[in-house]
Amino acid sequence: MYDYLIVGSGLFGATFAHLARKQGKRCLVIDKRPHAGGNIYCQDVEGIRVHQYGAHIFHTSNRRVWDFVNSLVEFNRYTNSPVARYGKSLYNLPFNMNTFYQMWGVTTPQEAMNKIEEQRQEVLKRMQSEGIAQPRNLEEQALLLIGSDIYERLIKGYTEKQWGRKCTDLPAFIIKRLPVRFVYDNNYFNDRYQGIPIGGYNRLIEALLKGVEVRLNTDYFSHRDEFNALAKEVVFTGKIDEFYDYRFGNLEYRTVRFEHEVLDMPNYQGNAVVNYTEAEVPYTRIIEHKHFESFGEEVYQNPKTVVSKEYSTEWQSGMEPYYPVNDERNSLLYQQYKQLADQESHVIFGGRLAEYKYYDMAPIVERVMRMFEEN
């Protein structure tokens, strides 16, 4: 009946369905959730679009990708400029001259460079005295990149909460590079384009799935053989280990628990994203959703606001998997599953769960666009 059965209505599945339909292909999209859009789904609460599964900011330097998504829905001018809170002190992110001024009172790039290099040299001397040639873990890598002050206040506690592991137990490659800028610039991304769909991400998903048959509250695995028989090919965006019945074992994930709260005030924290970097604070950050789409005095047009506290935790069955744990054990396990996937002639695996890879949104769209160009 169909050319493609697409399992999952998130950004990969929806973009695939859209481009396939434009080529005259018949698609059926199924999703076990009661809504389309996967983790970019937004819920309207008190006239505010709440990013139900965490903050999503679209950013890219690829003009074709930017033009593509804007042809479906216009994007606003939101610029991601998160703030980190440690105790009662606030620091701008990413690490830039504003951060260095807040940390040390330095006002010139050279002063900041000197301060960082002074702390780096202390770390190097200690490692050399202990006979350590290369960073063995995330902590040593971060100290070599940015020094002890910023690491202790802005990286250590946040990272350990995010991953549920000590920095000394995390591999160094996770933090091989840190965005460090010796200019007064709080724009988190280096990409040329960024923003949020005007009217929210649901509008983007609705545009991608326009004219495509979608069945929600539908679990692929409950009637797998019947669904497979409906289409020539399957596009699978779920967990790859589940697809193969966990034959080699479970891949590990981190997940996020959210506490959403409506507040009787127009402006709670003055910014969309505030990271809490102290280990003693149980949540990793607070999102104030109205700041994604309201700017300046617009914020005060709605007398209420919605905030979400995010708690990072280890994934367990029944939870939504978020972040792959790309350590050595899981990377080797994924390669075993990938070898099976590479042998499939009628199944396409795509997205962060099927490829066990952390994806931003724009690379997902770009990857699907290239798939259709190559074919």
Catalytic residues: 177, 181, 254, 285, 310, 358, 360
Q: Which amino acid is at 172?
A: A
Least Cα distance to 32 among 199, 206, 197, 224 occurs for: 224
CA atoms within 13 A on the CB side of 366: 14
8-state DSSP, 250: P
* Beta carbons within 10 angstroms of residue 86's beta carbon: 18
Burial 175-206 (b: 16+ CB within 10 A, else e): beeeebbbeeebebbebebbbbbeebbbbbbb
Handedness of CA 54, 39, 158, 196 (dihedral sign): negative
How many angstroms separate the CA atoms of 41 and 43, rounded?
Answer: 7
Say if residues 46 and 304 touch (Cβ distance below 8 Å).
yes
* Beta carbons within 10 angstroms of residue 356's beta carbon: 25
8-state DSSP, 320: P
Distances (CA, A) of 5 to 1, 20, 202, 333, 375: 10, 11, 22, 27, 18
Query: What value does the CA radius of gyration of the chain take, rounded to a whole number of Å?
Result: 22
What stretches of the chain adopt beta strand conformation (E)?
2-7, 27-30, 42-45, 48-51, 58-60, 83-86, 89-92, 193-195, 213-215, 231-236, 253-263, 273-276, 285-288, 305-314, 323-324, 347-349
